[in-house]
Structure 1
Amino acid sequence: MRLVIETAPGADVHPGLDLANSVLVAPGGVVTDLLDSPATAATWLTERGLAPADAVLYEICAGRLRALRSALRDLFTAAVRHEPPPAEALSVVNTALTRVPTAAELHWDPARGLHRSVPHPTDQVVDHALGVLAADAADLLTGADAARLAACDSRPCQRFLVRGGRRQWCSVRCGDRARAARAYARRSPERPVDLSPL
């Protein structure tokens, strides 16, 4: 059975935000990582048009995608809290931005002579995807939507969203959970805390 996840507001136009939200924490601390293996990472990239359907990734590629996700989460968290961004996270994003090849390199081979070729196809796919995701996140953090970037107000959710109007949650499910918790808190009488020694 395939897990169906509602996209957070803004993630449909900001793939960098979608990447940051690719690890989910549900009530009870259940974590779902949409990039937990090379196969799931390849599927995630393919579904977003960032890799061809026949792309095969290796663990090192999936690890690079998860590292970018971690850096983006650090940058988004700092932005939401109005704190300076971590230098290491900036470095990871800048590396992804600068690794995208702009042209095929010129090579010499005695059998083929001078020819142009691209790096290993898998590396090229991953470098391209990382570059697109990093560029989008940089645009989000410095563009018109930067002031609307927010963290979901429903706990334990750890996703980000681009706030539209008064919406405070990344999904209807998180909104329902937060409203139910508030209603329960209003109905439940405050219980005194027993501070007596055991």
Structure 2
Amino acid sequence: MGETLMTDDPALPPAPGEEQYPALALANSAIALPGGHTADLLGTPAQTNHWLTEHGLAPVDIDMREMCAAQLRSLREQIRALLASRTAGLPALPAALSAINEALTRVPTARLLQWDDGNGPYRAIPHPTTEIVDHALATLAADAADLLTHPDAERLTACDSTPCNRYLLRHGRRHWCSTRCGDRARAARAYTRRTRTRTG
């Protein structure tokens, strides 16, 4: 099992399509690196807050808690599962669909009625951090649903460079999320050709 690196900067540019679809950026926020390492942009509450801020989904300091960061990481895995199903042409996992639909409906249109045994009924005022995170989860789930149902989904593909695990929207014949991955894939192909020539 590889080591997870807690980093805000895995030194990779956004994959094609991430600027248009924040859900794609979320799916790509755990990046497989050479040597069995992973860079997790949501590895800590502070990193999660930073990621949400960078994507316009939270203010700079919302006192993010681990429970909220874990919810975002969980949604990421469900979105990744749906992207994997879509790119492989397989049926979606029911749990992934349920998670997206639950996130879509997390933000109530009004403060809900609560009942306290001592004081009776009252309208709930959600904790500010919870409210922000719920809104972010709903926004990202809606964005994932938009991506998967948009004609752009036909261009959705997984990066074709091992060990990269990022998804992208393909432009032309390009199947790599970055120049670095493209260079690595070409180098691997050249190495394979040289090895065959020597042994053949």
User: What is the TM-score when the length of structure 2 is the normalising length?
Assistant: 0.87
1:169 maps to amino acid:
W
**Aligned-partner Cα distance in 1 for 2:84–2:112:** 38
Instruction: Report the alpha carbon displacement of residue 191 of structure 1 after superposing the two structures with TM.
Output: 7.1
- 1:33 aligned to 2:40? yes
1:93 maps to amino acid:
I
SS state at 2:97 partner: helix
SS state at 1:161 partner: strand
What does residue 99 of structure 2 align with?
A: 92
What does residue 3 of structure 2 align with?
A: none
What does residue 183 of structure 2 align with?
A: 176
**Aligned-partner Cα distance in 1 for 2:198–2:47:** 46
- 1:186 aligned residue (185, 188, 193): 193
1:158-196 deviation per Cα after TM superposition (whole angstroms, max 9, x unaligned): 00001111111011110010011111111223677xxxx
- 1:71 aligned to 2:71? no
**Aligned-partner Cα distance in 1 for 2:105–2:13:** 32
What does residue 4 of structure 2 align with?
A: none
Instruction: Report the alpha carbon displacement of residue 27 of structure 1 after superposing the two structures with TM.
Output: 1.2
**Aligned-partner Cα distance in 1 for 2:137–2:104:** 7
1:118 maps to amino acid:
I
Instruction: Report the alpha carbon displacement of residue 140 of structure 1 after superposing the two structures with TM.
Output: 0.3
Instruction: Report the alpha carbon displacement of residue 5 of structure 1 after superposing the two structures with TM.
Output: 2.5
**Aligned-partner Cα distance in 1 for 2:30–2:130:** 23
Instruction: Report the alpha carbon displacement of residue 2 of structure 1 after superposing the two structures with TM.
Output: 5.6
Moved more, 100-109 or 50-59: 100-109
1:164 maps to amino acid:
H
**Aligned-partner Cα distance in 2 for 1:2–1:124:** 24
Aligned length: 188
* 2:53 and 2:60 in contact (8 A); partners too: yes
1:47-89 deviation per Cα after TM superposition (whole angstroms, max 9, x unaligned): 1100011212111100000000000000000000000000011
**Aligned-partner Cα distance in 1 for 2:67–2:43:** 12
SS state at 1:102 partner: coil
* 1:20 and 1:160 in contact (8 A); partners too: yes
- 1:162 aligned residue (163, 169, 173): 169
What does residue 87 of structure 2 align with?
A: 80
- 1:6 aligned residue (13, 30, 34): 13
Instruction: Report the alpha carbon displacement of residue 100 of structure 1 after superposing the two structures with TM.
Output: 1.3
Query: Percent of aligned pairs with the same residue?
Result: 56
What does residue 149 of structure 1 align with?
A: 156
- 1:54 aligned residue (52, 55, 61): 61
User: What is the TM-score when the length of structure 1 is the normalising length?
Assistant: 0.88
SS state at 1:145 partner: helix
Question: Any unmatched runs of 5+ in structure 2?
Answer: 1-6
**Aligned-partner Cα distance in 1 for 2:59–2:125:** 16
Instruction: Report the alpha carbon displacement of residue 118 of structure 1 after superposing the two structures with TM.
Output: 3.4
**Aligned-partner Cα distance in 1 for 2:141–2:8:** 27
**Aligned-partner Cα distance in 1 for 2:49–2:95:** 25
Rg larger for: 1
RMSD of aligned residue pairs (Cα, Å): 2.1
**Aligned-partner Cα distance in 2 for 1:161–1:179:** 18
**Aligned-partner Cα distance in 2 for 1:42–1:92:** 21
**Aligned-partner Cα distance in 1 for 2:173–2:194:** 25
